[in-house]
Every structure is written in structure tokens, then in C-alpha cells.
Amino acid sequence: MKSKDKAVELLALAGVTINGSAATDIQVKDERLYDRVFSGGTLAMGEAYMDGWWDAQDLSGFFYKVLRADLYKHLKNFSTLWHFVRASVLNYQNKDRAFEVGEKHYDIGNDLYERMLGQRMVYTCGYWSSPTTPAKDLDDAQEQKLDLVCRKIGLKAGQTVLDVGCGWGSFAKFAAQRYGAKVVGITISKEQAALARERCKGLSVEIRVEDYRETVGQFDHIISLGMFEHVGPKNYRTYMQKMHELLKDDGIFLLHTIGTNVSVRQGDAWIDKYIFPNGVLPSVAKIGRPLERLFVMEDWHNFGPDYDKTLMAWDANFEKTWPEIKDKYNERFYRMWRYYLLGCAASFRARYCQLWQIVLTKRGMDGTYRPVR
């Protein structure tokens, strides 16, 4: 069967027509696309989009249909297999590689993130689905998420918090201002650290550029928002042991991470190359084993669909402000970034990916932990 015929057949299973009239239909601009995708898998699919070989008016809608129909299982090839073998043998998230994602992703330009992320520059899922006061917009959703974290750990004035993967200091600033906390934030991005220090000036906040394995001290609480995805399966036990070492005996550790429904050893090849080098999403099973004999799991909260709304809001901001920064980047970057944002939004909409907040204590609460929503 020719590649094009195979593509027509597979896409029909998802309700997608090649060069059709629906917003979610794929528009093919170069007929070489079919051979390229079937020989190169998801990496080739993304690169072909960046090169302008195909498009879709509703890109997130197209991805949603493809993911719900499980079409990506038909795009496994030799390069995917080789990526898996290397990830099985090598530790891509060791200390020597720890700063790579900072340099390639987080350091590309604060001007981009300032425009895209909203007022507090929070680069993690917002909390839109509060059962009492659902968020009205992105800034409200992020404000509610930061407050949710503080309430889950029972944060009190004067307490110390370690923020592992502190980004641009969004949580540190919020916790110091609203709750009177003393926060130490660590990041592997020099650009993030510089802006975080500026944004937290005058507050009880210290920002360090260091790998989590280098951190020393004892803290009343530890939070980690969207950093665990960079730790890697070979380092999960080391990570949990380090968090156990840094947390006071009566403290609370909140782990906020994207999760996947099945255990994997490597991330998507396109995401790995262009967006998050060496990133791997954890599964429930992959998180559970490293916790043994270290932590008691008090609460596991999933609000994955909220990430769809967050990513769509980021894309809207990116689209709106692109004219202000396009001279610094180029058209291929623009297509790459929208492919990333809208593809990821679809993965949460299709429930391929989840967003978990896990509350952990070292010996169990003295009494019953009451889940906070």
C-alpha cells in the first residue's frame, strides 16, 4: 500500500480527511509528506509541520482526533526504537546533562515567556476547576493554583519552603507575600534565576542556580511544580531520597507533575529534540516504587483537563503578542512553538496526559490529612 493510501485509511479512523473542508482536517502542501512521516515517525511529522509541508486550521482539534483514535501507534519506526534503546541504557538526566534543558528551553528568552505566561509567569498548569470558585481567566487560574499549593502544605508565616524548579519565582513571590514564608528556590536556568531575583527583590526569597542533587539544608516544606518531568526514571529514587533528606520530619512535600497513563523510558522524539531535551513523563507505577520506605502518600489529585485550558490560553497570548517579538525569532520557530502548545493541549484534552498533585509526608500525618480542593 502506498504511503498516501495508508494515510487516508488511518486518518479516516479519526474522522480526518486529507484536504477536507473541516477545521480539523489536514491540509497537505507537499506530497512527499506521506513517505516522510511513515519513515520518520512523530519526529518527521513535527519537522514537516515546521517546514510548512502540512497544516490544519484547528491544529489542537486535529491532534485531539488523532490521539483519541490512537493513530500514533502506527508511527513507530527504527528511529523510535533506537531512541528507546538509548534511553534504556543511558542516564540522560544525570548531573552532567542536568542544565541542558535550561539552556535549550528556559533560556531562549524571557521576553517570550513574559508575554505568554501571564502576570505571575507561572509555567505550570493553572487551577481552573476549583469546586467553589472556578477560575475566570489564566491569571485567576494561576493565582488559585499557587494558593492551592500553599493550602495543601498548610503553609504558615515564618516557615521555610524549598521550591525545586522555581522557574521565574512565581511560587516563591506568592508564598512570601501572601503567607509570610521564607523560600529557597532552585533552578537550572540562569535566565530564570536572574529574573526571579528581580521579581522577588525585597522578599524573604533566595534563588539558587543548582541541580537538586547539590541542595543542602532542612525545610519545613518542599514543593516542586513541573520539574519532576526532567528528573528521569533512572533518578527517581535518588530524587525521592534527596527530598526525604531535605524535608523536616513533620513537613509536607507536594509534588506537582505531568503524568502519563503508561510507563515509558523516553519522551516523544520531537518534543525531546525541539522542546524539552531528556524529558520523560512519569506514570503512577514509576512514581510509586521510589516512594517506598521514604514517604506516606496522603493525597493524589488529578486535574489534567485544566492543562488543556492553560495551554490554549498560553497559545492565545503567544499569538496576540507574536508581532512584538517576531524580529528576534523566525517563522520556523513560530510554527514549532504553536505545534508544541497546541499538540500538548490536545494530549490533555484526549486524556493521554494527566496533571497530578501528590501530597507526601515522611511518617504520615498525626491524624488524618484532609484533602484540599
- pLDDT tens series, the chain, 373 aa: 799 999 999 999 999 999 999 999 999 999 999 999 999 999 999 999 999 999 999 999 999 999 999 998 877 654 444 444 444 444 555 665 555 654 556 667 789 999 999 999 999 999 999 999 999 999 999 999 999 999 999 999 999 999 999 999 999 999 999 999 999 999 999 989 999 999 999 999 999 999 999 999 999 999 999 999 999 999 999 999 999 999 999 999 999 999 999 999 888 999 999 999 989 999 999 999 999 999 999 999 999 999 999 999 999 999 999 999 999 999 999 999 999 999 999 999 999 999 999 999 999 998 889 999 9
User: CB count, 10 Å around CB of 112?
Assistant: 18
**Distance between CA atoms of residues 178 and 157, nearest Å:** 9
Catalytic residue numbers, as ranges = 344
SS3 85: helix
Which of 186, 187, 256, 246 is closest to 221 using CA atoms?
A: 246
State the cell numbers at 370. Answer: 484532609
**Distance between CA atoms of residues 44 and 217, nearest Å:** 45
Tally of CA atoms within 13 A in the half-sphere of 217 that contains its CB: 18
- 198, 169 Cβ separation under 8 angstroms: no
Which of 224, 171, 168 is closest to 196 using CA atoms?
A: 168
Largest CA distance in the chain: 68
**Distance between CA atoms of residues 257 and 304, nearest Å:** 10
Q: Please report, for the chain, the start and end positions of each structural domain, with discontinuous segments joined by +.
A: 3-76, 100-361
CATH number for the domain formed by residue range(s) 100-361? 3.40.50.150
Strands (E), 287-349: 296-302
